[in-house]
Amino acid sequence: MDAHFARVLADEQDDAPTPGASAAPPASSSRAAPTAALSQQQLDALVARADAQELDQLDARSLRTLVQALERRVRSNALARAKHADAPERFLESELALHSELARWRHVAAAPAALLPELAALNAAPLLLGLFAHDNADIRLDVLALLAELTDAEDDLADADALAARRVWVRALLEHRLLPLVVTSLEQLDSAPGVEDQDEEAAGVYHALQILENVADLEPPACAQLCATTVVLRQLLRQVAAARRFSANKLYASEVLSILLQSGAAPRAHFMAGTVATGTATAPRDDSDSSKRRKQAGAGDLLDRLLQAIAPYRKRNPASEDEEELVENLVNALCSVLLLPAAQMHFRRLEGLELALRCLKDRAQYVFSGALRMLDLALMGDARNCARLVEVGGLKALFAVFMGKKKAKKPTATATATTTRRAKSEAKAKEEELTMSILSSLCALLSPAAAHDVFDRFHAKFVENDMEKLDRVVDVFVKYLGRVEQRDLAGDDDSDDDDDNDEKDENEDARYLRRLDAGLFTLQRATHVLAHLCASSRKLRAYVLVKLHEHRIDMDVLAQILKEQLAMLRGGDSDSDGDGDGDKDVTDTDGERAKMQAQRTLLVHLLSTLQAPTSDAASSAVEPKQEEAKHET
């Protein structure tokens, strides 16, 4: 067979490609040189049509034939390459045959998913994955494209049996090291010079990212394995770097990064392991010495790279809807990481708080809402970050947003009056939720013993300008109290006739979801702030009592809201203790329990101080005064 190929190539030596073109795909490929004769093109078309007819009705038997044919092509090509390593023209034909055989496998990707377990049983997974070691880059690109299709479950979402069958195939691939091979291929493609300008290599990067997304969708536990055993996080951050121009691959990489970091605590822990291990120096975004200090932070600092990818959007808006999606993905990734205390600490050291405050300067910037989310998660449970926010003058920007002093975004040209009103209403509700959450964190975590008078500076804000900010907190409380009560009344009308215990439990869950949708979270945070201010100062307590009385609301309403939240937390903690879910991430569970315990302690403290008169000691210790208000810079 090899002698025959050599004789044919010798007869057609004038038309044969040069030895340096050994990696070229066949004439039917977009990369092949258009030198083949017309009759050969016609013959290829006839063969392709015959192959399509042959594979039109794929079954287990024809699938076995296809696998055996690919095995023969792989062995033949390996033999030819081993025999004629110094003469690429001697194994060119076997390479073209292998490429054509892989093209035939596209029919398998289009076949019903029910055949995929049979494909796994035929050991097709190691056969295909073994081709990642092939010297010809075109063969590796063929395999990436094929696996991207074979792992795509988009057409199976409505069919549970099809999804189960595709999972069998994906698990077979995972058993034979699919993930490390794909990430290695991604590295190789991305390291090629000018990869962004080469369509074939760019397509290969896209297919590699598609495989990672498909695996994450079908086998979520594999996300932890992927982050633990490969450098995928580092590679994805390289793809989304600010220095790279926007492209489909940059958008896709941001999406995969967001998916991985939102999949559980383990990927986030691996992200921080790659961050803290490389340095802890600060790396500001804007200052004249930023490049020098960024180098001090370490080239491998993953959190710093993520902040650098977001930083350009503090000054400019995305140029398209796709680029807006990129920004959302990057912010989602960062917010997921900020769930870890170590990430909150490193975020402060990298001047992430300052970056978020700069993004809050202009509401017209697309990243504005994302910056509020960053601040909320960075402050949650971290007393040092709360103090740092006050130290760097963040109260001015925060209260400007809370008081509605920032200019609203301009509506897009295609937005209708109805959609614009709806978008404004949703954006305002989200801002109120986030700012109340931030204020709640500051109330809970700022200490009178903290340096730079941060405690007094924060409380003085509620006294200045005739207590306008305290008025705003009361207004938010009244607004969301009315919404939640209205939703309760509407829900009670639907559940009057339910007697079954299971139905009552379901209705209770549905009621809680309805209340959340009406703004229960914002109401609870506003209650925390009011209860804290009432407990901290007689003056503020008296003022709150008067304002609530104007709205015919008793102070007991605040206590009742706190009691309901405390009961919910205690019930949720007992449920999580009894679940015994061994698959849940232990680190994630411990973190959730610690946060719940801190919330319970806070609620008990607020209840005790709210239901008792303000003590003279507490009043004298924290009484804010108008003249103590610092001018925020």
pLDDT for 85-115, tens place per residue? 777 777 788 889 888 899 989 888 888 889 9
Provide the pLDDT for residue 596.
Answer: 79
Instruction: Answer yes or no: do 487 and 553 share one domain.
Output: yes
Mean pLDDT, to the nearest integer, of 607-620? 59
Provide the pLDDT for residue 274.
Answer: 74
3-state secondary structure 429-496: HHHHHHHHHHHHHHHHHCCCCCHHHHHHHHHHCCCHHHHHHHHHHHHHHHHHHHHHHHHHHHHHHHCC
Task: Give Cα 471 to chain centroid, integer Å.
Answer: 37
Instruction: Answer yes or no: do 319 and 426 share one domain.
Output: no
Asked if residue 357 belongs to a domain, the reply is no
Provide the pLDDT for residue 266.
Answer: 94
Instruction: Answer yes or no: do 149 and 256 share one domain.
Output: no
Provide the pLDDT for residue 32.
Answer: 41
Instruction: Answer yes or no: do 556 and 434 share one domain.
Output: yes
pLDDT for 287-331, tens place per residue? 444 444 444 444 458 999 999 999 999 999 999 999 999 999 999
Provide the pLDDT for residue 615.
Answer: 47
Q: Are residues 496 and 407 in contact, defined by beta-carbon separation less than 8 angstroms?
A: no
pLDDT for 314-373, tens place per residue? 999 999 999 999 999 999 999 999 999 999 999 999 999 999 999 999 888 999 999 999
Asked if residue 581 belongs to a domain, the reply is no
Q: Is the pLDDT of residue 412 over 60?
A: no
User: pLDDT-based confidence at 208, cuts 50/70/90?
Assistant: very high
Of 149-153, 224-228, 283-287, 378-382, least confident by mean pLDDT is 283-287
Q: Is the pLDDT of residue 506 over 80?
A: no
Secondary-structure breakdown of the chain: helix, strand, coil percentages, each rounded to the nearest 5: 75, 0, 25
Asked if residue 365 belongs to a domain, the reply is no
Q: Is the pLDDT of residue 564 over 70?
A: yes
Provide the pLDDT for residue 13.
Answer: 47
Task: Provide φ and ψ at 226, rounded to 5°.
Answer: -60, -45
Instruction: Answer yes or no: do 82 and 39 share one domain.
Output: yes
Instruction: Answer yes or no: do 456 and 325 share one domain.
Output: no
Segment of 1-15, 526-540, 594-608 carrying the highest mean pLDDT: 526-540
Q: Is the pLDDT of residue 376 over 60?
A: yes
What's the mean pLDDT when you consider all of the chain? 81
Provide the pLDDT for residue 253.
Answer: 98
Instruction: Answer yes or no: do 82 and 163 share one domain.
Output: yes
Of 153-157, 339-343, 622-626, least confident by mean pLDDT is 622-626
Instruction: Answer yes or no: do 490 and 397 share one domain.
Output: yes
Provide the pLDDT for residue 171.
Answer: 97
Q: Is the pLDDT of residue 16 over 50?
A: no
Asked if residue 7 belongs to a domain, the reply is yes
Provide the pLDDT for residue 607.
Answer: 86
* CATH code (residue 614): 1.25.10.10
For the chain, what's the residue count? 633
End-to-end CA, the chain: 81
Instruction: Answer yes or no: do 87 and 232 share one domain.
Output: no
Provide the pLDDT for residue 407.
Answer: 57
Q: Are residues 28 and 103 in contact, defined by beta-carbon separation less than 8 angstroms?
A: yes
Provide the pLDDT for residue 521.
Answer: 95
Which tokens hold the place of 43?
Answer: 């013959």
pLDDT for 246-290, tens place per residue? 999 999 999 999 999 999 999 999 999 876 544 444 444 444 444
Q: Is the pLDDT of residue 62 over 60?
A: yes
Provide the pLDDT for residue 500.
Answer: 59
Q: What is the largest CA-CA distance in the chain?
A: 105
Provide the pLDDT for residue 97.
Answer: 86
At residue 487, the 3 state secondary structure works out as: helix
User: pLDDT-based confidence at 597, cuts 50/70/90?
Assistant: confident
Provide the pLDDT for residue 71.
Answer: 93
Q: Is the pLDDT of residue 587 over 70?
A: no
Domain count, the chain: 3
Full residue range of the structural domain in which residue 566 is found: 380-408+422-494+503-576+586-633
Asked if residue 141 belongs to a domain, the reply is yes
Question: Apex CA 302: angle with CA 299 and CA 308, to 5°?
Answer: 80
Instruction: Answer yes or no: do 345 and 389 share one domain.
Output: no
Of 32-36, 45-49, 127-131, 602-606, least confident by mean pLDDT is 32-36
Instruction: Answer yes or no: do 395 and 280 share one domain.
Output: no
Instruction: Answer yes or no: do 265 and 123 share one domain.
Output: no
At residue 179, the 3 state secondary structure works out as: helix
Asked if residue 551 belongs to a domain, the reply is yes
Distance, in Å, from the CA atom of 279 to the CA atom of 554, rounded to the nearest integer, reads: 53
Question: Apex CA 388: angle with CA 384 and CA 393, to 5°?
Answer: 160
Asked if residue 214 belongs to a domain, the reply is no
Question: Apex CA 145: angle with CA 134 and CA 192, to 5°?
Answer: 60
Q: What is the DSSP letter of 111?
A: S
Asked if residue 181 belongs to a domain, the reply is yes
Provide the pLDDT for residue 111.
Answer: 86
pLDDT for 439-484, tens place per residue? 999 999 999 988 889 999 999 999 999 999 999 999 999 999 999 9
Provide the pLDDT for residue 350.
Answer: 96
Angle, helices 178-191/199-218, rounded to nearest 10 degrees: 150
Distance, in Å, from the CA atom of 467 to the CA atom of 545, rounded to the nearest integer, reads: 14
Distance, in Å, from the CA atom of 294 to the CA atom of 281, rounded to the nearest integer, reads: 8
At residue 30, the 3 state secondary structure works out as: coil
User: With 0-12 CB in 10 A as exposed, 13-18 as middle and 19+ as buried, what is 555?
Assistant: middle
Give the torsion through C-alpha atoms of 233, 236, 242, 248, to 10 deg.
-160
Mean pLDDT, to the nearest integer, of 507-518? 87
Distance, in Å, from the CA atom of 234 to the CA atom of 629, rounded to the nearest integer, reads: 45
H-assigned helices in 176-299: 178-191, 199-218, 222-229, 232-239, 248-261, 265-276, 290-297
Provide the pLDDT for residue 421.
Answer: 78
H-assigned helices in 580-615: 586-611
Question: Apex CA 180: angle with CA 179 and CA 186, to 5°?
Answer: 90
